[in-house]
Amino acid sequence: MTREETVARALELHTGGYNCAQAVACALAEALGGAVDLDEAQLFAACEGLGLGMGDMGGTCGAISGACVVSGLVGSTRRLDAPDSKAATYAVGRELLGRYRDAVGSVTCALIKGRTGGPVLLGCHDCVGTGAGVAYDVLVGEG
């Protein structure tokens, strides 16, 4: 899948009722093909509680949280007896969050949605598109 196809797929999923995290994670998993070893239903379930800033608490935006879930699925060595991939996965997470913050103005759902008294920076649907695009660039490649 191209970047544009991935963004379009995330928006389609969001329109169809997936929350922000589910839409980005599931579209990104499609773009990555076999690199994500969860099926769509498992990934959908894993991301369900991340919507609206994690359980509708206005925390980290679900669109980029879903991307972080996928980054762990792709980057983890899964060595339970000697976890050795956290630092690399954290670095990818910082890159995802930094690029998303630069594009949107914040990574905090409540701030993005104007729930703290400030202006609305972006609507949820546009956050999904932006999150999918940023995630594609970082995890699939910008080329």
pLDDT tens per residue, range 99-133: 999 999 999 999 999 999 999 999 999 999 999 99
The residue type at 139: L
Q: To the nearest whole percent, how much of the chain has pLDDT over 90?
A: 94
Q: Mark 109-122 as b/e (b = at least 16 C-beta within 10 Å).
A: bbbbbeeeeeeeeb
Q: Residue 58 class from Cβ within 10 Å (0-12 exposed, 13-18 middle, 19+ buried)?
A: middle
Once rounded to an integer, what is the mean pLDDT over residues 24-36? 94
Instruction: Look at residue 98 and tell me whether its pLDDT is greater than 90.
Output: yes
**pTM, to two decimals:** 0.95
